[in-house]
Amino acid sequence: MKIFSLRNINKGKKQVIKQHIITLLFILSTTIITLLILINWSISIIEGNTANLSEGKSLEINWNFENEAKRVAAMEVPPDISRYTADKGEETLDLIGAIFGPPNYFTQGSGGKGTFAAHADYWHYGSGTKYWQVTISTKGYKNLKLSSKQRGSKTGPRDFKVQYSTDGTSWIDIPGAKITVSEKFTTGSLKEVILPKSCENQPKLYLRWIMVSNKSIEGGVVGEKGTNRIDDILITGDKIS
C-alpha cells in the first residue's frame, strides 16, 4: 500500500512540474512574441517620424508642366498661364507683356518628345518690360536655390536675367542669374543659383525672368512671332530650425 501511494505521489509531482514547465514556456513564448511586435512597431514609428522630419526640413516648389489637368485648365478661354499652379505647391506663374500661346500654349519640354514647356510669343520691343514671373512663399526657409530652363525660336528674345522682389515693385538682380537663350534648352539654363539672404523667410517673394535686350537668338531684332519657352522651374530651401 505504501509503495502504491508513493508512486502516486511521485506521479502527481511529475504532472505538476510538467504543467508548470508548459505554463512557463507558454508565458515565455508569449512574452517574446509581444516584445517582437513592440520592437517592430517602435521601428516603424521611428522610421515614420524620421521621414516626416526629413520632408518637413526641405522646401521644393516646381513647375515642370507635366500635369495634363493643369494644362487643360490653363488653355481654357481666355487662356491664362497662372491657372497652371506649381506642380509642387499652389504658387502661381504669370506672363507679363508677352502672350501665352496661341495656338501652341505648351510645346515640347526639356525632356524631349512627350514632355512640355510653357510657350509664349509677341516678345518684340520687350526689353525691360516683358517677363515670366512666379510668386511664392519662403516663410520658414533658408538656403534658397533656383533652377530653370529656357529656349526660343530664331527670332525670339536672346537675353534675360532673373530678379527678385519682396513687394512686387522694387526689383533686385540675382547674382549669377543672367541667361543667354538659344534654340536648345542647354544654354538658357540656370542650375541651383543661390538666392540672396533677403529672399529667405518671406511670406511673399517674386521672381521674374525679364528681357534685358531686344536682340534675337539669331542676332537680329526680336520678331513679333518670336517665341520663348520656360520649363523645369525649381526653388529649393532648408527649413529654419
Query: Can you give the residue ranges of every domain in the chain?
Result: 1-56, 59-239
Q: What is the mean pLDDT of residues 181-210?
A: 97
Q: Which pTM was predicted?
A: 0.77
pLDDT for the residue 25: 72
Residue 183, judged by CB atoms within 10 A of its CB (0-12, 13-18, 19+), counts as middle
Rounded distance between C-alpha atoms, residue 233 and residue 217, angstroms: 21
pLDDT digits (tens, 9 = 90+) for 137-177: 999 999 999 999 999 999 999 999 999 999 999 999 999 99
Instruction: Report percent pLDDT > 70 for the chain.
Output: 82
Rounded distance between C-alpha atoms, residue 236 and residue 59, angstroms: 5
> Would you identify the CATH topology of the domain 59-239?
Jelly Rolls (2.60.120)
pLDDT for the residue 56: 54
Q: What is the mean pLDDT of residues 178-194?
A: 97
For residue 13, name the pLDDT band (cuts at 50, 70, 90): low
pLDDT for the residue 35: 66
**Quick check: 222 pLDDT over 70?**
yes
In whole numbers, what is the pLDDT of the chain averaged over residues?
88
Q: What is the mean pLDDT of residues 119-128?
A: 98
For residue 11, name the pLDDT band (cuts at 50, 70, 90): low
What Å distances lie between residue 112 and 30, 58, 64, 107, CA to CA?
Answer: 59, 29, 12, 10
**Quick check: 191 pLDDT over 80?**
yes
For residue 43, name the pLDDT band (cuts at 50, 70, 90): low
For residue 14, name the pLDDT band (cuts at 50, 70, 90): low
Highest mean pLDDT among 3-7, 49-53, 95-99: 95-99
pLDDT for the residue 38: 61
For residue 90, name the pLDDT band (cuts at 50, 70, 90): confident
Residue 26 grid coordinates? 507558454
For residue 103, name the pLDDT band (cuts at 50, 70, 90): confident
Q: Is the peptide bond before 103 cis (omega within 30 degrees of 0)?
A: yes
For residue 1, name the pLDDT band (cuts at 50, 70, 90): very low
